[in-house]
Structure 1
Amino acid sequence: MPSKTLIESADRNLSIRRASEFGLKATAEGVDVRAIRDRKRVLIDDFAGYRQQQLMDGRFTLHRGYAEFVDAHTLKVSPRDGSAAFEVQGKTFCIATGSVPNIPPIPGLQETGFWTSDEVLDAESLPESFAVLGGGAIALEMAHYLEGIGRKVTLIQRGKQFLTGFDTECSQVVEQAYQHRGIVCHLGTHIHRVTTKDGGKHIEYRHGEEEVSVTVDEILVALGRKPASGGLNLEAAQVSLHKEKVVVKPTMQTTQPHIFAAGDICSPLDVVHVAIQQGEIAARNAHRLIQGQLVNEEADYRLLLFGVFSHPQVASVGASEADLEKAGTPYVSASYPFNDHGKSMCMGETDGFVKMLAHAHTGEILAGICVGPHATELIHEVVVAMHYRSRVQDFLTIPHYHPTLSEIWTYPAEGCADQLTEECE
């Protein structure tokens, strides 16, 4: 919520900058970063305050402190206020410590100093230029926000595409759109060192076969996050880790059956709605365990949903083509561009496309990808269809109002239907 609140301000400013395209006369009279920050604080205080009330309304015993396992049934808690440590025992536990920013071991970075998204989200003023390190969701969203409110941005990504694991076309659309806005995008890089130079922060790196450098006011490290599993003394509880993430079964049980985990600490995808689902499953299964019942509720990641609030936005649901090929699942795919779609053309938002994957024999929709206007909203039409295991043949019978963004999904659905084998007819 904090980042999306700031991004909303950037989106509005982009609309003002493009006003003349729509026959309007409007100019931005500057950006008040403190006012943007204050609006974010009001909204987040409201959300957080409600959750805090729930935790302190008498239904729970709440301890504020740092916990570590003494053994599989005992925690040592060191209170945040500095008072004496104490122990807590339990029949079940749930580890939900989340994640922390991932900071790479780049020579000179620690000495020179840097920001993470935490600093950007609560800054009352912002430097004029940034180098954003990374090419995932956080990096793309922060680059969009910073450029959207008038800052000069250079994106430096180690990999050869943005959003590793997504279709390369997704990366290409975002890269072209960002470059059109004036964001310098350097992919396939290797950073040698960070130093100070001429009062700024100087980054030396290889871009392809070329040695380049950039001097900026601030460096934003946005290389994702890593599980906050340190300091828990999980060995004492015989809870296993894999690459710093807690190992869990679909029931959200760890390698110690009465200890559960949920959220970024163990998730295949670090997003809020998945963490909520995991937490609810863990709680219900913990209750079953205490009651002596069968622990049998499992997390289902068939509808694994992901969204990036860049501009254009990116969203996906379901299996990737690589996953389907690895599993040997026969599939067909079809896509359709926004630059040939009526509503997006009216909106002046023509970057991107939608893509649908379907089972080659049954026609069941297996995945959807959207890069373009309101992608994080549009993807839910495919999510609902997949929830009910809709086939592309069924999807095509659903009426879509014209002109709307949503109707663009009918084109790849028709394209997939045309490729199905005869046994589907």
Structure 2
Amino acid sequence: MTASTNDASPPQSYDLLVIGAGQGGGPLAGTMAEAGHSVAIIERKHVGGTCVNEGCTPTKTMVASARVAHLARRASDFGVATGEVSVDQSVIRERKQEVVDMFRDGSRSSLVDHKTLDLIEGHAEFTGERTVEVTLHDGSTRTVTADRIVINTGARPFMPPIKGIELDGVLTSTTIMELDEVPDHLIVLGGGYIGLEFGQMFRRFGAEVTIIERGDQVLAREDRDTAKALWEVLENDGVDVRVHSEITAIARVDDSLQVTVDGPEGSEDLAGTHVLIAAGRQPNTDDLGLDAANVETDDRGHIAVNERLQTSTDGIYAIGDVTGGAAFTHISYDDYRILRDRWLHDGDRTTTNRLVPYTVFTDPQLGRIGLSAGQANKQNDDIQVAHLPMSQVARALETDETRGFMEAVVDNKTGHILGATVLGAQGGEIASALQIAMMGELRYDQLRDGIFSHPTYIESLNNLFAQIDDEAVSAPA
């Protein structure tokens, strides 16, 4: 049900108050209400959080459109004749919005149907350790208290202090998805996951794209070999990637944005029609009044939590991106499960040593789980690394999707898989299969000798793990 907006009413008390209806907060509020607890959930913008409204759902819908455009242009490679390929950005935006609206409405319906749950739409601010004042959309206020409070306010694009960053045509990962026309030249600040996904996407829509990265490689957290391979994919697609470079100023010159870039060879002015700022994200904590609740944050504003997601104040918890951990929807959802299990089932799950998978939805996809080869080698583990180029995968050859590789780290002491990196077609799905093997503590030889359907990408795990030297593994093969 939706909360009333009576200013004169005294503070209403709940068993649980959730601030933010994201992919962790929404399910937690619904589950606790279904269990009979009185619950209020506060959302100041859209139910569903970043994932449904500005992240996973809209971006991957648009990535699908970009891949269709790419395949259409490659039709002749498969012996299929097509005409000139054009993109209608307004139709792509409308399709994206239809999917977002469907997911958002579903998330909202799952909340308002509970009799013991109030959805309060407005901005929340702590006025005490157990007290929150909500400024509703009509300007009135409402005060609520709760025995337990969970903060799930997420994060937003970080806007660095660059001269001219406020100009029209300078976009974030949210506003770029509202364009009705393809940019002539998109300049992307940031060679991280978001920058690469959007950079390749808009190149496939037909834009000229330049990516500016201040570090010495794209995807700074990945092994250098992985980053180099994906860099080559982007350049093969026609994306101009510049490292050791930094945007220092943006100015409007006639119909273009003049972007000043400091690089290895000095300063240069680039002319672009649009600039995408993809320089990371910052937590939505600066206007929550956390000092009033004695909730501690780090120097970037992330809320400090322990392995049970408890903050520095007893009874207040934080989940999802706002904690500064792995900023993925599935991690936020697992945070919800940790609290649910502890509060409803006397569970003892924590965040300690949980596997954190992720997929970068470039094409080909980059799927990751556990340790990379570089990370394992830095730990001086007794390991072996199996590496298989996608050009040696039968299914990849049949579908002409041979860019990338599969790689897995094997523990010589146990024969177990410690991690995997898959840059290739269906890379996220293949990495997920390897994650399941890790969860089940399967040995590498069980995958090497397993019977998989032919011809599939998964079948190539036979060949991948055939590279492991059995004699170097202590556990019996």
| TM-score class normalised by the smaller sequence | over 0.9
Residues 213 and 412 of structure 1: CA distance in aligned 2, closer, same or farther (over 3 Å): farther
Q: 1:337 offset after TM fit, Å? A: 0.3
Q: Per-residue deviation at 1:392? A: 0.8
**How far 1:394 moved relative to its partner?**
2.2
Q: Match of 1:409, as an amino acid?
A: L
Equivalent residue in structure 1 for 2:137, among 70, 80, 86: 80
SS in 2 for 1:55: helix
Give the 3-state SS of the residue equivalent to 1:71 in structure 2: coil
Q: Partner residue of 1:115?
A: 171
User: For residue 219 of structure 1, what is the aligned residue in structure 2?
Assistant: 275
1:105 is aligned to: 161
- Distance of 1:311 and 1:44 partners within structure 2: 22
1:185 maps to 241
The within-5 A match list for 1:247-262 is 247-262=304-319
Give the C-alpha shift of residue 350 in structure 1. 1.1
Question: Contact 2:373–2:408 at 8 Å: present in 1 too?
Answer: no
Q: Distance in 1 between matches of 2:60 and 2:157?
A: 18
Cα distance change of structure 1 residues 267 and 388 upon mapping to structure 2, 3 Å threshold: farther
1:356–1:416 contact (8 Å) kept in structure 2: no
Root-mean-square deviation (Å): 2.0
Matching residue of 1:196? 252
**Residue 14 of structure 1 is aligned with which of 59, 66, 70?**
70
* Among 391, 402, 418, the residue aligned to 2:443: 391
TM-aligned CA deviation for residue 113 of structure 1: 5.2
1:150 to 195, 199, 206: 206
Q: Give unpaired runs (5+ residues) of structure 2.
A: 1-56
1:45-60 matched pairs, under 5 angstroms: 45-59=101-115, 60=117
Q: Secondary structure at the match of 1:250?
A: coil
Whether 2:371 is the aligned partner of 1:319: answer yes
1:268 partner letter:
G
CA 18–235 in structure 1, closer or farther in 2 if over 3 Å, else same: same
The answer for the alignment partner of 1:291 in structure 2 is: none
Is residue 410 of structure 1 aligned with residue 462 of structure 2? yes
Give the unaligned 5+ runs of structure 1: 289-293
Structure 2 residue aligned with 1:41, among 68, 72, 97? 97
Q: 1:138 to 1:4 in 2, by over 3 A?
A: same
Instruction: Return the match for 1:93 from 114, 139, 149.
Output: 149
Name the TM-score, length of structure 1 as normaliser. Answer: 0.93
CA deviation map 1:279-335 (0-9, x unaligned): 2222443557xxxxx673313553210111112211100123454456554322121
Q: Secondary structure of the equivalent of 1:6?
A: helix
* Contact 1:253–1:282 under 8 Å retained in 2: no
CA positional deviation for 1:112: 6.3
Matched to 2:464, the amino acid is P
After TM superposition, give the deviation of residue 267 of structure 1 in Å: 4.6
Equivalent residue for 2:123?
66
Partner of 2:404: 352
Write the mapping of 1:118-133 to structure 2, written as runs, cut at 5 A.
118-133=174-189
The match for 1:281 among 331, 338, 341 is 338
Tell me, in whole angstroms, the C-alpha distance in 2 between the residues paired with 1:236 and 1:416.
Answer: 57
Q: CA deviation at 1:206?
A: 2.5
2:474 and 2:85 map into 1 onto residues whose CA distance is: 61
Q: TM-score, normalised by structure 2?
A: 0.83
Identity %: 27
Distance in 1, matches of 2:458 and 2:124, equals 48
